[in-house]
Structure formats: structure tokens, C-alpha cells
Amino acid sequence: MKIIAAFGTDDGKCFIDRHFGDSSYFDIYEIDENNANFLKRINNSTDKDKGNEVHGDPVKAGGIMGLLLKEKVNVVVSRNFGPNIKRIQMKFVCIRAVGFDIAESIQEIQKNFADILAEWGKGEDRRHLILKNAL
């Protein structure tokens, strides 16, 4: 099995220092233990900049989940998640990266591939994981 992972970013190289749902883009990669292939970048077309948005807005969570499920994503990676993590981890393995570098996080995903697949197998009972960049 391969992982299809979405990385929350503004520049394609680093994670943002805001919540996953506040990313300008989601860079999508196909990852296995030995390879990582960039598939595409999708714009975060949700109303992330709406001034009166409620923190942890379920409509925003649903919009982001819809975007990513359409791309067959099963793992989402970010430095920060907001209250919507409880909603999105029912559909995805949520991984919190410690560092800012996306390339380093991809290597950490590869090193922890079996653990991530095991978490995916838990279905809606899955919990988020934390990547500790060892580089």
C-alpha cells in the first residue's frame, strides 16, 4: 500500500506555522517506504480567510475533507492542527510534524511507514501521530 499525503504549505518547501486548514495550498505526494512522488498542488479553496469564522468550524472541516478525499488522500501532515482534528482524523491519519521542512517529514514518514499504516487500519478510532524529525 502507498500513502497519499497532503502537506499544508504556503511555499511548497515548509509547513505553515498556522493550523492545517489555514494553508494556502495542499501539496499531495504518493509515498512508500522507498519513494516519494509529488502528484499535485491544490489550492485551499475553503473560506479560510473569512473574518467571522468560528474557530473549529465544521463547515470548513467538511470543505477541506471534501477537497482531500477527492484526491484520495489518506494522511494529512502539518505542524499545527486546530479543534477540527477530531473531525478530520476520522477520515485521515493526522501527522503533526515537529520541524518545518516538508522533505525531512517525508523521510520521517518513510521511516515510520508501518506505524502509519497501522494507525490507518484503526478506522475512525485512529489518533494523531507526531513525527520527530531525526535529521
Lowest mean pLDDT among 26-40, 51-65, 96-110: 51-65
Cell numbers 493526522 correspond to 94
How does pLDDT run across 3-40, given as a tens digit for each residue? 999 999 999 999 999 999 999 999 999 999 999 999 99
What's the one-letter identity of residue 46? T
Structural domains of the chain in order of their starting residue, each with its CATH number: 3-131 (3.30.420.130)
CA 95, CA 11: separation in Å to the nearest integer? 19
